[in-house]
Structure 1
Amino acid sequence: MRNTFVKILTQLAEKDERIFVITPDLGFSVLEEFEQKFPDRFLNVGIAEANAISIASGLALSGKIVYVYSIIPFVTMRPFEQIRVDVAYMNTNVRLVGVGAGITYGPAGATHHAIEDIAIMRALPNMTVFCPCDPYEVEEITKESINHTGPIYFRLAKRGEPTISDILKKIKLGKANYIQKKENSNIAILFTSNASDIALEISKDLENNNIDIDLISMHTIKPFDYMTLENIINTKKYVFTIEEHSIIGGLGSVVSEYIAESSQNPVFKRFALPDEYSHYVGSQMFIREKFNFTAEQIIQKIKELI
């Protein structure tokens, strides 16, 4: 995803001189092409994340469209006060580009895990929260971000995720992306970001057992596609959410909040990481296993429920 993002942004920058990239000493092996082509529109501020955000806000107020690139905890949590005041409150055209969704950086430990970022960013007024599942969603929304007013948070994975979207369909901020839609299905699985591999494995297993499902990528957590959600809870008996994020504050919370205030009562279950930090150090898959966040375990629970 990150390679797609930089590739598309570099292409856009050739035509739009407003595009500016800032990094707090990260992005090596990824940002070099942009830096070489546009040295006057690239700034490495060093390990100074708060400063990076304030500089980005100032540039945005002077007419630039600024992308701040770093690992997720260092572009969302360490400089949070500057994001809240200089970016969200001022409604500036700053794009926070965070890499390493969920526990992608498993071996680096809890300091590098991103399990609270969706909750934190969606709580900020004016902030758009974009959590793509594949390179095509990244490509389409990167293009759209040029003309978007206000800040955006990009939550990117980095494992070379395959394209699973229909590339003939237009991807828009705030509009759900159906990966699979079955005419007679009474089950909807909503997923976001780098939980796509789990969602696809679950879908395949259920289909092999003659259980039809709708599979939907909710790439925009804010503004949320409540119109699609309303249709889902009105027409489906079972609704499940899957995300590599804390059980608190993410996609599952958005959906459960809406269901709680609706007149509908589908069977609903959230699948996410538990409300705890990982004291396990190892690969993403290793930590998923430790936290019972695997396709096999989720499939078992879904089959029990249906």
Structure 2
Amino acid sequence: MTTLDTATMREVFAATVTEALDQDPRLALVLAAISADLFAGPLRAYPDRAVDLGIREQAMIGVAGGLALAGFRPVVHTYAPFLIERPFEQIKLDLGHQDVGAVLVSIGASYDNPAMGRTHQAPGDVALIDTLPGWTVHVPGHPDEAATLLTGALAADNRVYVRLSARANTAPHPVTGGFVPVRHGSLGVVLAVGPTLDAVLAGTEGLDVSVLYTPTVRPFDRAGLRAAVESAAPNVLVVEPYLRGTSAAEVAEALADRPHRQRSVGVRRDLEVRAYGTPQEHDAVHGLDAAGVARAVRELLVW
């Protein structure tokens, strides 16, 4: 039996939304077959605001837009490629152009389950959402963080993307909306996003660099990065569990008035991995393991 203390992010999501549906009549749940078993209770109890559309992802976003226009707070859920990539036009128009709020919650991350193949991988999801204005993007690194971020998103009115993962750091960190200092150093700053923190801490062990952590990448905490750079050399490495360089423009904007160097570690843009393998093997290919982070930090610090 799974308890909340040992639950995955996906299980925490289901428990959090189920409780919120019981308490808040404005919440609505829209599924496309995925995780329907976790929401069997709400689907029975609230047929007027909890619906499983089957494998109809474009319709799922359209229904969410209609619910939002009718005054509901829709929560929309499936695998990342089916939530962001496949119905992107509907996200752009039915939510963004109509200026209505919703909470999009994905699972699968970049390659949580490589055995499912490329169809279930979405390393470009955050970069794609980043082309649209007005989105908050959360990438929790621990189930406890996911619960806090989801609770806040459900109570708000804006457009929120919550990127859940089957992988997590060993311990949660404070959810502040900004960057949390985890380690202090003088030669540079490493920003760890969501579930990359454990690899970052292992890869920077013994190196004189600061480590910042965040489970929220949009809005980007430009002030927090500037503050960290004030007490360290202006060398910045962003370690992000999706497409490499997704936040490069944000770093450049944050430090636009001062010389700096930056690098990114993330899913490589120059390589399509066609082998199934394991998530850990994919990490190694993309440099997202501890060895890859250590290598990137040393390259950054060599002038």
Instruction: State TM-score, norm by structure 1.
Output: 0.86
Partner of 2:179: 176
Aligned partners of 1:51, 1:107: CA distance in 2, in Å? Answer: 27
Aligned partners of 1:136, 1:60: CA distance in 2, in Å? Answer: 28
CA contact (8 A) 1:59 1:66 kept: yes
SS in 1 for 2:217: strand
Q: Which of these residues, 293, 297, 301, is aligned with residue 302 of structure 1?
A: 297
Aligned partners of 2:94, 2:42: CA distance in 1, in Å? Answer: 25
CA contact (8 A) 2:101 2:159 kept: yes
Aligned partners of 2:197, 2:38: CA distance in 1, in Å? Answer: 23
Superposed CA offset, 1:34-64 (max 9, x none): 4345444310111111111011111111111
Aligned partners of 1:130, 1:28: CA distance in 2, in Å? Answer: 23
SS in 2 for 1:152: strand
Superposed CA offset, 1:63-104 (max 9, x none): 111111000000001111110001112221211111111111
Partner of 2:82: 74
Give the Å deviation of 1:147: 3.1
Q: Which of these residues, 264, 268, 278, is aligned with residue 274 of structure 1?
A: 268
Aligned partners of 1:9, 1:88: CA distance in 2, in Å? Answer: 23
Aligned partners of 1:49, 1:112: CA distance in 2, in Å? Answer: 14
Partner of 1:247: 244
Give the Å deviation of 1:290: 3.0
Aligned partners of 2:15, 2:170: CA distance in 1, in Å? Answer: 16
Partner of 1:165: 172
Aligned partners of 2:149, 2:251: CA distance in 1, in Å? Answer: 22
Q: 1:95 to 1:39 in 2, by over 3 A?
A: same
Aligned partners of 1:30, 1:212: CA distance in 2, in Å? Answer: 45
Q: After TM superposition, where is structure 1 displaced by more than 6 Å over at least 4 residues in a row? A: none
1:35 aligns with 2:43: yes
Aligned partners of 2:42, 2:232: CA distance in 1, in Å? Answer: 46
CA contact (8 A) 2:150 2:162 kept: no
Partner of 2:6: none
SS in 2 for 1:20: strand
Match of 1:35, as an amino acid? Answer: L
Match of 2:275, as an amino acid? Answer: Y
Match of 2:102, as an amino acid? Answer: V
- Cα RMSD (Å) of the superposition? 2.2
Give the Å deviation of 1:17: 1.0
Partner of 1:100: 108
Which shows bigger deviation, 292-301 or 88-97?
292-301
Provide structure 2 residue ranges, at least 5 long, that are not aligned to the other structure.
1-8
Give the Å deviation of 1:291: 3.3
CA contact (8 A) 2:138 2:215 kept: yes
Give the Å deviation of 1:305: 4.2
What pairs with 1:37-76 in structure 2 (closer than 5 Å)?
Answer: 37-76=45-84
Match of 2:201, as an amino acid? Answer: L
Aligned partners of 1:162, 1:291: CA distance in 2, in Å? Answer: 19
Aligned partners of 1:269, 1:112: CA distance in 2, in Å? Answer: 28
Provide structure 1 residue ranges, at least 5 long, that are not aligned to the other structure.
none
Aligned partners of 2:82, 2:140: CA distance in 1, in Å? Answer: 19
Aligned pairs, how many? Answer: 291
Instruction: State TM-score, norm by structure 2.
Output: 0.87
Aligned partners of 2:179, 2:144: CA distance in 1, in Å? Answer: 14
Give the Å deviation of 1:23: 0.8
SS in 2 for 1:277: coil
